[in-house]
Amino acid sequence: MQQSLRSLPSVDRVLADPRVREALASYRRDIVVDVVRRRLETARRDLAAGGSPLVAFPELVDGVLADLTLLGRPSLRPVINASGVVLHTNLGRAPLSREAAAAAQEAALRYSNLEFDLDSGERGSRLSHLESLVCRLTGAEAALVVNNNASAVLLGLTALAQGREVIVSRSQAVEIGGGFRIPDVLRQSGARLVEVGATNRTHPRDFADAIGSETAALMRVHASNFQQIGFVTKPTLAELVQIAQEVIWPGAPLVIDDLGSGTLLDTVPFGLSPEPTVQQSIAAGVDIVTFSGDKLLGGPQAGLIVGRAEQIDEIRRHPLTRALRVDKLTLAALEATLQAYRRGKAVEEIPVWQMIAVTPESLRERAEGWRARLAAAGLPVAVVPGQSTIGGGSLPGETLPTFLLALVAPHPDELAARLRRSNPPVVGRIQQERLLFDPRTVLLDEDEALLSAISAGSTQA
């Protein structure tokens, strides 16, 4: 055993290997030295424990180079989403349009007038860049952008309802992904939650009866990732607005609508159930509407607050606004996304809407093309009908018809794991001992990488 330990090469000998010397051109010397020492220490422990025999020197160098490659690989990496979940929260939700990505890149590479007024030559506000565009698209009097919708809700409640009551239907005191709970947000904002109604049924009179001098707002909360069916009822936004307007004492309560996903397009023409639009909330007379930028809007992560100028101005002046502000890359990408709506080109340019709008016939054709390529390589594949999911807390329970590439594998879990380790990683879904790949969520320029990964992963079985 001691002879085997003495046979381990020194750090200097490993560093002198031509391949390791070449790696020193790409990594700091101290990092390479640390990787070599770790590899040698692992070999020493294995030998001392009576484990594997002495590793050959070339294999040791291979391990060092593999470790260095892993160190140099970015942690945040592009992934091929073949799961069929359009807004996959774990995979970054909405991919940006080419226009939005180009705008963000341009903002990153150059200086900009982020907080500089080009007319006066004096300090400007980053909050002003998108306001007029958002107002034109939604019909709101004023608008504000923060870093996500949770921030938008927290900021709005903190600025407008701190120390007072906010009335919410018991059925909407919800928890969404990541343990985000509306009651917790209300407590954090300093507002006091008043739940009304029953779990499944809340009537307008429940809100009206709960209003008192301490009531700051009536609030509707989007159901996000669940739905209630059957013996269910809830007040409309118009009814909540009417109830608030009928309060006779000064300081009548506001109506706040947390739309969550926040779409600007009618979802019905795409074969989906009606999803309340931002424009509809504003038209109903709501004071404040909050929604996300990276869900059905199809842009970068952001939270938008739109509504009446008086309330938006009050929110804008709150100290928390600065802590939740967005950077120039987000502003640039969001503006480019919103411009697609202004031009009436959202469905043509924004990936989320392209995926939603694609026809089952087009998906079948694409899946058949995949099948033909992989079948020619001898893989057991077929095209089967299936369903895609919107996801991301949008349109809960809603699916769209699709056609899937189905790969029969003796151990689908193992194959799925190999595909996740490929470059780029591929994420599909397993059903009935088959690994399924949905073309709806695979970008058009990812076909070759997807098929190469499937072929390579299948041959490793």
Where is 21: in which H helix or E strand? Answer: helix 18-23
Q: Which tokens sit at 268?
A: 């019905």
pTM of the model: 0.88
Cβ atoms within 10 Å, residue 111? 8
CATH node for 80-89+354-459: 3.90.1150.110
pLDDT over threshold 70, residue 279: yes
Q: Tell me how far apart the alpha carbons of residues 125 and 322 are, in angstroms, rounded to a whole number.
A: 11
**pLDDT-based confidence at residue 3 (cuts at 50, 70, 90):** very low
Q: Tell me how far apart the alpha carbons of residues 222 and 30 are, in angstroms, rounded to a whole number.
A: 52
**pLDDT-based confidence at residue 393 (cuts at 50, 70, 90):** low
pLDDT over threshold 80, residue 232: no
HSE value, Cβ hemisphere, 13 Å, CA-based, for 138: 33
Evaluate whether the domain defined by 97-345 bears CATH number 3.40.640.10. yes
Tell which residue, 429, 422, 430, 431, has the closest CA to residue 449.
422
Q: Which tokens sit at 420?
A: 């996740």
pLDDT over threshold 70, residue 149: yes
CB-based burial label for 140 (10 Å; 0-12, 13-18, 19+): buried
pLDDT over threshold 90, residue 8: no
Q: For the chain, which residues make up each domain, given as ranges?
A: 2-72, 80-89+354-459, 97-345
CA distances from 82 to 361, 428, 444 (A): 18, 5, 12
pLDDT over threshold 80, residue 89: yes
In the chain, % of residues over pLDDT 90:
68
What average pLDDT does the structure give for the chain? 90
Please compute the mean of the pLDDT values over residues 191-219 and round it to a whole number. Answer: 88
Which pairing describes strands 254-260 and 288-292: parallel, antiparallel, or unpaired? Answer: parallel
With tokens 């989320």, the residue in question is 352
Greater confidence (253 vs 182) lies with 253
